[in-house]
C-alpha cells in the first residue's frame, strides 16, 4: 500500500496573552494526510500537545467552510497560505511537501491585537461596519424580487463586493496595514444598490473616519490586498470608495 502521508516542521508563534512577548516555537508533526485541511493539521498537533501535557496552540476558527472569515494566519509570509482565493481552513496539506518547514504567525497590523498565539482581536473591522456599513432606512416588508429593477452588471458588481468575509487578510498583507479593500467592498456593495443610496454620503464619510481613528494605514496601491483576498475582491472597489468619499466631502 502506498503511504503518501507527510511530516512537517512547524515554527509557530506562541504568545500567552496580549501583554506578553511572543516567540516562535518549533514542533514536528508526522502522518499528516494530504487530504487534511490546514486547520485539521493544527488539530492533530494540538492532540499531540494535549497528550504530552502541554498547552495547545490557540487559533481562530468557526465554520471551516471558507464563509465566516474567522480563520487566518500568515504561512511562510503569505496570508492564508500559498494558494490563491483560498481561506486557511480550505487550504489542504497536499500543497506542501514532506519534510517542509512552515512558519506560522498571526496577521500583523497595528489595528489587530494578538490575544494569544494565532488568535486576533479583529473587532476593529466590526467597529468600521458599525460606523455605517448598513442600511437603516425603514423600507417596510420585503418587496418582490423584481419590484426594484437593477441592471445585471450593477447587481453582479454589488454581489462581487458583498463576497467579502472580513477575514482581515488584506490588512495583514498591506505594507501600510490599510483596511481600504475591506471598507471599499462594504461601501461599494451598498452604493451600487438603490437601497443604499439615501445614506451613501454619510456612510462613506463615517466609515473612512472610523477606519482612520482605529489606526489603519493609508492605501499605497501596492495591490497586495487583492493578491491575498480569498474572495478575489477587486481594488476597483477602492476607486469606488474614493469617488464616494470625495463626492460626500464636497457636496455632502
The CATH code of the domain that includes 97 is 3.10.20.30
CA torsion sign for 73, 76, 78, 82 is negative
Strand 74-75 to 119-121 pairing:
unpaired
Residue 222 resides in a domain: yes
Print the domain residue range for 110: 6-115
Same-domain status, 106 and 35: yes
Q: 183: domain CATH number? A: 1.10.1060.10
Nine-digit cell string for 151:
441592471
* Inside any domain, residue 184: yes
DSSP string of 187-234, one letter each residue: HHHHHSSGGGGGGHHHHHHHHHHHHHHTT-B---S--HHHHH-TT---
Establish if 144 belongs to a structural domain: no
The answer to the question of residue 59 being in a domain is yes
Contact 76, 88 (CB under 8 A): no
One pLDDT digit (tens) per residue for the chain, 252 residues: 346 899 999 999 999 999 999 999 999 999 999 999 999 999 999 999 999 999 999 999 999 999 999 999 999 999 999 999 999 999 999 999 999 999 999 999 999 999 999 999 999 999 999 999 999 877 667 667 667 888 999 999 999 999 999 999 999 999 999 999 999 999 999 999 988 999 999 999 999 999 999 999 999 999 999 999 999 999 999 999 999 999 999 986
Q: Are residues 246 and 169 in the same domain?
A: yes
Residues 168 and 85 in one domain: no
Other CB atoms within 10 A of residue 4 CB: 10
Amino acid at each position: 500500500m502506498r503511504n503518501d502521508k507527510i511530516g512537517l516542521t512547524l515554527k509557530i508563534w506562541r504568545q500567552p496573552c496580549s501583554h506578553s512577548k511572543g516567540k516562535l516555537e518549533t514542533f514536528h508533526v508526522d502522518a499528516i494526510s494530504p487530504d487534511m485541511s490546514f486547520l485539521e493539521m493544527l488539530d492533530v498537533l494540538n492532540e499531540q500537545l494535549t497528550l504530552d501535557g502541554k498547552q495547545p496552540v490557540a487559533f481562530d476558527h468557526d465554520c471551516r467552510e471558507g464563509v465566516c472569515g474567522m480563520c487566518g494566519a500568515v504561512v511562510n509570509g503569505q496570508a492564508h497560505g500559498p494558494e490563491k482565493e483560498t481561506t486557511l481552513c480550505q487550504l489542504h496539506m497536499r500543497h506542501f511537501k514532506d519534510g517542509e518547514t512552515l512558519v506560522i504567525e498571526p496577521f500583523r497590523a497595528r489595528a489587530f491585537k494578538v490575544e494569544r498565539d494565532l488568535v486576533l482581536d479583529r473587532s476593529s473591522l466590526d467597529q468600521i461596519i458599525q460606523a455605517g456599513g448598513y442600511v437603516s432606512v425603514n423600507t417596510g416588508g420585503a418587496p418582490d424580487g423584481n419590484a426594484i429593477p437593477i441592471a445585471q452588471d450593477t447587481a453582479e458588481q454589488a454581489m462581487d463586493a458583498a463576497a467579502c468575509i472580513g477575514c482581515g487578510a488584506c490588512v495583514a498583507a498591506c505594507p501600510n496595514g490599510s483596511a481600504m479593500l475591506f471598507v471599499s467592498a462594504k461601501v461599494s456593495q451598498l452604493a451600487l444598490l438603490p437601497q443604499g443610496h439615501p445614506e451613501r454620503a454619510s456612510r462613506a464619510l463615517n466609515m473612512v473616519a472610523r477606519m482612520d481613528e482605529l489606526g489603519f494605514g493609508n492605501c499605497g496601491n501596492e495591490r497586495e490586498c487583492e493578491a491575498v483576498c480569498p474572495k478575489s475582491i477587486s481594488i476597483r472597489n477602492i476607486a469606488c470608495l474614493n469617488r464616494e468619499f470625495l463626492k460626500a466631502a464636497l457636496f455632502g
